[in-house]
Structure 1
């Protein structure tokens, strides 16, 4: 079973990102879960969202997991939340930051030796979507790092989901954000 944990602040789109990912992956015939755990449930409060993906029915509905991927879409949470909790030996981290990997490891030594990928999802979302909502760029980075789905397949399926709710300008901006993040994650 593939498990993903998102670290975010309420209002940054982690729940929407987790649900969007689940909808796209469910279209491939896999079993999926997407759920969230809110602290105070106020905009800006730290929160976590979760995904599970498997070929078989998923009977586990607990929030506890040993994630294969940890996605941090708010850079500050890297330093004030235990993002490494319950990690596996081969857990991969994708962290939103303006820092290089080396600078990030210097500031957060617990990340040394981990499979670490960085990019500035907030900058990408500001420059493409016009708002600091970094969930779409994080999905692009996840597609690149995980190889879970081909980028074109993911984009087509994700854009179909967005097309039900959003104007074309926003859809195009999300497509650009996802593609840019896919290309920029290091």
Structure 2
């Protein structure tokens, strides 16, 4: 089973991103779960969301996991050691930051020795969507790193998922996804 944990602040779209990823993967015939954990938090409070993806029915509905991927979509949360809780030696971290990987590792010592990729999903979302909602750029970076499904197949599904929005929003999100796919390092 593939397990993904998202760390963000309320309002940044982690719940929507987790649900969109689950929707895309369900369309490929996979069994999925997407859920979040937060209390009566206000916008901006730290929270987490989760995805589970498998070829067979998923019977475990708990939030406890040892994630294969950790997606950190708020730059300030990179410095909280909780992001490495319950991870494995081969867990892959994809974080949004304006810093390059080496500078980030010099500050966030708890990430040293981890498989780490960096993308500035905040900047990309501001420039392409017009708002700091970094969930779709993070999905683009995740698709590049995970190679879970062909990128073109992902784009077809995500365009369909976004079809309830005005074309301007769809176009901005697709540009953000493609840009993060290219810029993640």
TM interval, short-chain normalised = over 0.9
Contact 2:81–2:110 under 8 Å retained in 1: no
Within-5 A mapping of 1:92-107: 92-107=92-107
- Quote the Cα distance in structure 1 between the aligned partners of 2:58 and 2:66: 15
Aligned: 1:110 with 2:98: no
Q: Which runs of 5+ in 1 are unaligned?
A: none
- Report deviation, 1:81: 4.9
1:170 aligns with 2:169: yes
Structure 1 match to 2:83: 83
Between the aligned partners of 2:12 and 2:110, the Cα distance in structure 1 is 25
Q: Find the counterpart in structure 2 of residue 145 from structure 1.
A: 145
Aligned pairs, how many? 185
1:135 alignment partner in structure 2: 135
Moved beyond 2 Å, runs of 4+: none
Deviation string 1:35-92 (CA, Å, 9 cap, x unpaired) is 0001432111100000000001000000010000000000101113510000011000
Partners of 2:162 and 2:170 within 8 A in 1: yes
| Per-residue deviation, 1:149 | 1.3
Mapped partners of 2:150, 2:182: distance in 1: 13
Q: Tell me how far apart the structure 1 counterparts of residues 39 and 57 of structure 2 sit (CA, whole Å).
A: 29
Deviation at 1:116, TM superposition (A): 0.3
Structure 1 residue 105, shift from structure 2 partner = 0.5
Equivalence for 1:123: 123
Match of 1:51, SS state, is strand
The match for 1:73 is 73
TM-score (norm. length: structure 2): 0.98
CA distance in 1, matches of 2:81, 2:91: 17
Give the Cα–Cα distance (whole angstroms) in 2 for the partners of residues 67 and 39 of structure 1. Answer: 22
- In structure 1, what is the Cα distance between the partners aligned to 2:94 and 2:177? 14
Greater CA drift, 118-127 or 105-114:
105-114
8 Å contact from structure 1 (residues 39, 45) kept in 2: no
